[in-house]
Structure formats: structure tokens, C-alpha cells
A and B are shown apart, each in its own frame.
Chain A
Amino acid sequence: MMSQGAGTPPSIEPPSPLPSPGEAEVFKCPNCGAPIEVTPDSLVIKCRYCGYIEYRDPGYDVFVFPSISREEITRRFWDRMRTDSDMSKYVSSISIDSITNMFVPFYVVDYDAQYFFIGEREETRTRTVNVGGRVVTQTEVRTVKVRDSGSVRGVDAILGRRHIEELGIKELSTQVKQLDVSAAVHASKYEWGKEVYAVMGFDIEPKEVSAIARDVIAEKLKTWVKRKYRLDRLNVYLCRVNIKNFKAVLVPIYIVTYKFRNAIYSIAFSGVDGRQLVAIEPVLTKHLVMYLGGAAAATFVASLALPFAFRLGHLAFLSVALMIGAGYLVGKALGGVRFER
């Protein structure tokens, strides 16, 4: 957060020279003396004139996962297109529109947690009985009380910036959890290279991380407990999350935008190892056939099963599930793009 003249009443007479709000942060390049623009998010600044790069210490340790080069990402992009079962036939109609390289700030949090809960699960039992010579299916629903406690440990990745959304970030956070943080280099020692445009820092400060991580982990653990014990209701849930340590890391991401049949599509690659995080790809004729064929099959089975639901109640659920599935496939067919991971 900024601290320029906070709380001081403004002077009616403008001081000379007039320091417009926000421009107090412009400083001179130590190498050539040219002005360098510093933003609230600047972690690494670059002089536009001489290319001088400086790391601005935010007051806590930041580690960087080295980024593979732009050339390597370009190579990976074309390799992927040439070997992709959908796009390989169209390689000659594809051209790269832009390649954007960014560093995404994360906090890698090491924690353990203990939980205790009392919950309820509804168990349905069906049995066939003979009533007056007719075979009838009876369904019995009973509520079972479940209680348990346990502990878990793990690593989570908390995004270091507020309120942002970019292609591939969710997938990148899944990768970050599996990375060996000791392989990251301290930001002050990292060779940023001439290519770097700007590196944004953290707008969530380390002092906020424990509270955020506790909330996120307790919520995930609640979902996990419900799923693991197949609970329909939690009467009480107690969770204690202990944050053992956390590290601020910058993780590189590449977003490659390409043109195909005049339209644009994008692929996000991890800058750590070049693996594809997520690709937005065109819906081709074969996908249309697949989605609509699936929707037709699901609709047929859903409506076929419906009359039998009078005898076997649970077939009604199957019927509804298939109908929703068919609608989802129709939506996908007309959605224009596919997400491929």
C-alpha cells in the first residue's frame, strides 16, 4: 500500500515543482540516469533506455522457478500442434499471434491440520419382497450418524495477487504444489535476462498468508471430509490448521495465442517445464459429431429408462442425470471452443 503523504491535509498553494500524486515514485536508473517507472507491483524494474535490470527487495525472501526460454516454448507449441490428434492436420493453417511470458506469484504453504466432526448420512436400501404373489421393490431410507477425527498434512498454493483471472492459473497452482521449492532460486540472485519486461510482485503480504491459508484449507478439508464419509449433513465440524511454514515463489507461465481460420485461440504452458496447462481449441466437425452423437444416445437412454422408473425408482435419477448430461453436450457442441488439459 502506498504511503505518500497519507493523512496530511492538502495545501491550497501548489508546491513547486508540482509533484502530481503517484509520480513521486519515479526514480532514476543507477546506470544511465534515465527515469524508470516504478509501479506498486514492481518486483523487478527495467530501464527502457539502457536495459539495466534491478530487483527491488520487498522485505521478505522471494524465490523464482527458472523460466524456460521463449524459443523453447515456441518449439513446444509447434511440437504439440504437429503431434496433436485434432490439430496435426491443420498445422499449415496455424500461425502464432503472440507469446506472453509472466511470472505468477504464489505462496507455497506447508501445513498440517486436525479435524473432528459429527455428521449424518442417508443410506438407501432396496429389497424385493413378495406381496400376495407379486414381486415388489421396497426402498428404505435411514439416517446414520457418523463421527470421526483425524489429521492430514499437505502443501497448498495460495495466489499472491488479489482478484485476478488468467488462462492456466488454476492448473499452474496444481503444478506448484508438486514442485520442489528448494529448486527455486532466490530472486536477488536470479538471472532475469534481457527479455524480461516486468515482473509483478505480491499484493497479498506475508502477514496475511496464514489467515487466508487457514480459511482455504479448512474449507477444502470440509469438502474432503463430506466426500470421504459420504455425508449429507455436518452437525458440527472442528478444524485446526497449523501453518508450518510458507515461501513466496514466482512461477513462470507462457500464454501462446494462435490464429486458425482467422479466429484466435490460446494455450497456457508452464514456464517451469513447458508442459501444457490448458488449451482453448476449436470445435471441429469430429467433435460436433462426437458431442451431438453423445447427446442423442444420452437422450435415448434417458427416455427409454423413464417408463421403468415406475418399478425401479432409482432409474428416475439415471434418467434425469442423462438428460442433464445430454444438455451439457449440446451446450459444448454449440460453445465454439473446447478446453483441453
Chain B
Amino acid sequence: MSGEAMLKCPYCGSGFRVPHTVNVATCPYCGYTFKVSTGEAITEHYYFKVVFSSSSAFDRLLRFILRNYGAPSDFHTVTELRKASLHYVPIHAVHAEAAGECLYTEGMWFWSKSYEGDFYEVGDYFILANKEPWFSHIIENYRFSLRGREYFKPKMLRMGRYYNIAVRKEEAIKAASDAVVRDLMQDLNTGCSGNKIVKDVKTEYLGVTHYPIWEFTYRYGNVEMKALVDASSGRVIYAEYPQTLKAREEAGLIAGTLIGIGAVGGGVGGLVAVGGLMAAAMAGAGAIIGLIAALPAIKRAFEKVVKTSEKVEDWNLLLKMGKLFEEGESVPSITTG
């Protein structure tokens, strides 16, 4: 077959085919994972177990969709499952640290004074090791469940669609190194208006993890849709559902009402503040305000199929504004020079 190479497992001797792009292959007979170029074993190889079977994950998906605005109330009874596939997607993990410095000079000539501030950035970066799945852009920043990893086992090769490691470890390390420098620069940009210097970057490869994801294809009426469900936690990563006509009409009504309220508000304000023809212009400006406020409803009014995902946190002011520090005495103990 073109685009594929024949490999011989260095461990059990079995022959198997893999795409040319694959750098790390897993033997489908014994599960040995090795570098294609050298045959060297990959030891930092983990996977997450399937906790949610296809039926329990699909049931969870249907019940998740039911809680969304505009989902048909009979969605869980009418929807027909067409296909369920388990994907094991490989993700590299790299720990990266970067050190930087801010050099800031205040004043000029003899009256100038210099300050040096150290900045550090520490982070773990997770890089998709195979971009072949159609949903790779959806799971790029997806975070793992709290249910824990296991050491790689050969049996998982038979459990679903197993993706080989196509992105090399070195490429993942380079991507993590670039990402930590980018984060460091972001940190420096918000805390330094002088010269910004990246002094040192360190990386440590933590291993590769195969993560299980259910892909469902289902049909409601004549509409065929797709969803992705985390097989470890049951969380819905991505889902599509048909919006009822009633819900779309309601969304349209909400949008129209807000635009009308905006126009009335702008018109009344215009009459009081400026009067005359300008009041009509102000009514138009008010309608635009209403239109912008109504954007989420306008979007809904035109959507026949809605794309959604299960969020586990929302933007919360209280969490952001919580008491962070207990202040000590004001002691200028940092020497600046």
C-alpha cells in the first residue's frame, strides 16, 4: 500500500504496516512501543482507562443534550445511534521552565537609575502527537479527567482506533520550549516596560499518554450529527443537536424585542438630550446597542444544528477577586541597583 511502511517488531518479531509519517510505532501483537528509526523502547507511555462504556457514554450524551436550550424534549427517546467508535489519541507531555529578566532605567544621564527584575515561567505543555483525527482541533486544549493513568498495555490496541505517535518527541519538546518562552514574554510584557531578556529555557519530557475518546454518530429525524465524549470521565467534549423551530422563533423574538427596546431608549434619550432629527439618529444608535446585546439570540435564531460542549467552570468574579494575600509590614527589603 502506498504511503505505508512495513515494520518488524524488535520485540516479538511480528510484521505490521504503519503510515510513513509515523515516528513511534506500537506492535499490534505484543504492544511493544518503539522508535521506528532505532527500535528503542518508549518507556514513558501511559493510557487512561475507559470508565464509560459506549452505552453509558451515549446515554450521558443524550441527557446532557436535553439540558441545552432548544433541544427537542424527545431527543433521548427518538435519537438513533448510527455509529460508536473509540479513539485512543496520543498526547505528549513536556515540563518547561524559562527564566527572564527585565532591565529598566529611570531618569537620564547622571540621574539615571537601573533596576533588574527576574521573571520565571513554569508550566506543563500537552501536545497532540497525532493530528490525523478530524477532531484534533477540538481536543487541542482539552484537559484530562481526575481518574488517573495506567501504564500502557497491549490490550488497548484492540479496544478502539489506536493512533500512532506521528509528532516526534523532539518536536513536542521544541513546541513546549516555544510555548514557555511565549508565556514568559507575556508575563514580562505585563510587568516590564524596559528591556526584556530571555535568559534560560529548560525542558523535561514527561511521556506520552493515549487518551480515550468516544465518537458518536447519531440521527434525529433526517439530521445526522456527531459528538465526542471523554471515555474516562464521561464529559461531553463536543456535541451537535437540532434546535426546535419554537426555540428559534423564541430566540428571534428576544432579539427583536431587545432591538426595539434599544431604539425606544435611544429615541427617548435623543429627544431629551439633543432633540430634532438627531433624536432619530439616536434611536438608530440605540437599535444597534440592542442588536449587539441580542447577538447570542440572533445566532440561535439562525442555527438549525447547535454545537455545544460540557463546561465544568464558568467565568466567576468571586473566584477571581478572592482574598489573595495577607499583607505584612511594608518593608522595602528588595535591593534595587
- Which among A40, A259, A303 has the highest number of chain B CB atoms within 10 Å? A303
Contact in complex: B296, A18 (CB < 8 Å)? no
Closest 3 CB pairs of A and B: A303-B286, A22-B151, A303-B265
**B31 contacts which chain A residues (CB < 8 A)?**
20-22
Contact in complex: A236, B117 (CB < 8 Å)? yes
Q: How far is the CA of A299 from the CA of B295 in the complex (A)?
A: 12
Of B12, B32, B293, B326, the residue contacting A154 (CB under 8 A) is B326
**B313 contacts which chain A residues (CB < 8 A)?**
165, 167, 170, 278, 339
Q: A104-B146, A263-B64, A298-B293 are in contact. Are A311 and B325 (CB under 8 A)?
A: no
- Which among B60, B273, B293 has the highest number of chain A CB atoms within 10 Å? B293
Q: How far is the CA of A25 from the CA of B151 in the complex (A)?
A: 8
A335 at interface by CB-CB < 8 Å: yes
Contact in complex: A262, B76 (CB < 8 Å)? yes
Contact in complex: A14, B193 (CB < 8 Å)? no
Least CB separation from B113: chain A residue: A118
Of B93, B274, B325, the residue contacting A162 (CB under 8 A) is B93
**A146 contacts which chain B residues (CB < 8 A)?**
none
Contact in complex: A236, B265 (CB < 8 Å)? no
Interface residues of A in 70-111 (CB under 8 A from B): 102, 104
Interface residues of B in 60-100 (CB under 8 A from A): 60, 63-64, 66-71, 73, 76, 93, 95, 97
Contact in complex: B332, A264 (CB < 8 Å)? no
Contact in complex: A265, B67 (CB < 8 Å)? yes
**B104 contacts which chain A residues (CB < 8 A)?**
118, 235-236
Of B194, B261, B322, B328, the residue contacting A235 (CB under 8 A) is B194
**B287 contacts which chain A residues (CB < 8 A)?**
303
Contact in complex: A151, B285 (CB < 8 Å)? no
B124 at interface by CB-CB < 8 Å: yes
**A163 contacts which chain B residues (CB < 8 A)?**
93, 124, 126, 143-144
B300 at interface by CB-CB < 8 Å: yes
Q: A9-B40, A152-B325 are in contact. Are A331 and B194 (CB under 8 A)?
A: no
Contact in complex: B324, A308 (CB < 8 Å)? no
Contact in complex: A319, B296 (CB < 8 Å)? no
Interface residues of A in 173-229 (CB under 8 A from B): 174, 198, 200, 203, 208, 211-212, 214-215, 218-224
Contact in complex: B269, A211 (CB < 8 Å)? no
**A37 contacts which chain B residues (CB < 8 A)?**
150
**B190 contacts which chain A residues (CB < 8 A)?**
222, 234
Of A41, A102, A298, A339, the residue contacting B314 (CB under 8 A) is A339
- 29 A-B residue contacts at CB 8 Å? A1-B44, A5-B43, A12-B10, A20-B31, A21-B32, A22-B150, A39-B149, A40-B150, A114-B333, A149-B330, A152-B325, A152-B328, A161-B146, A163-B143, A167-B313, A224-B324, A262-B66, A264-B60, A296-B261, A300-B261, A300-B262, A303-B263, A303-B282, A307-B274, A307-B278, A307-B285, A319-B289, A334-B70, A336-B68
B30 at interface by CB-CB < 8 Å: yes
**B151 contacts which chain A residues (CB < 8 A)?**
2, 21-23, 25, 39-40
CB distance from A293 to the nearest CB of B (A): 11
B152 at interface by CB-CB < 8 Å: yes
A261 at interface by CB-CB < 8 Å: yes
CB distance from A20 to the nearest CB of B (A): 5
Q: How far is the CA of A288 from the CA of B316 in the complex (A)?
A: 20
B25 at interface by CB-CB < 8 Å: no
Contact in complex: B289, A306 (CB < 8 Å)? yes
Q: How far is the CA of A40 from the CA of B293 in the complex (A)?
A: 49
B153 at interface by CB-CB < 8 Å: yes
**A264 contacts which chain B residues (CB < 8 A)?**
60, 63-64, 66-67
B13 at interface by CB-CB < 8 Å: yes
Besides A2-B43, A21-B151, 10 new A-B residue pairs in contact (Cβ under 8 A), listed by A number: A14-B13, A21-B152, A102-B146, A238-B116, A238-B117, A263-B66, A295-B293, A307-B285, A326-B293, A335-B69
Of B34, B314, B334, the residue contacting A238 (CB under 8 A) is B334
Contact in complex: A151, B41 (CB < 8 Å)? no
Number of interface residues of B (CB under 8 A): 116
A132 at interface by CB-CB < 8 Å: no
A34 at interface by CB-CB < 8 Å: no
Contact in complex: B193, A236 (CB < 8 Å)? yes
Name the prevailing secondary structure of the B interface residues: mixed
Interface residues of B in 223-272 (CB under 8 A from A): 233, 251, 254, 257-258, 261-266, 268-270, 272
Contact in complex: B294, A310 (CB < 8 Å)? no
Q: A22-B152, A296-B258 are in contact. Are A336 and B69 (CB under 8 A)?
A: yes
Name the prevailing secondary structure of the A interface residues: mixed
Contact in complex: B290, A299 (CB < 8 Å)? yes
- Which among B95, B144, B266 has the highest number of chain A CB atoms within 10 Å? B266
Q: A18-B12, A236-B117, A262-B66 are in contact. Are A165 and B273 (CB under 8 A)?
A: no
**B293 contacts which chain A residues (CB < 8 A)?**
295, 298-299, 302, 323, 326-327, 330
Q: B309-337 CB contact bits vs A (8 Å, 1 = yes)?
A: 00011101011001011111111111010
Q: A14-B13, A20-B32 are in contact. Are A236 and B296 (CB under 8 A)?
A: no
A143 at interface by CB-CB < 8 Å: no
Q: How far is the CA of A152 from the CA of B247 in the complex (A)?
A: 52
Q: How far is the CA of A165 from the CA of B43 in the complex (A)?
A: 26
Q: A234-B193, A261-B66 are in contact. Are A334 and B233 (CB under 8 A)?
A: no
A337 at interface by CB-CB < 8 Å: yes
A305 at interface by CB-CB < 8 Å: yes
Q: How far is the CA of A115 from the CA of B191 in the complex (A)?
A: 12
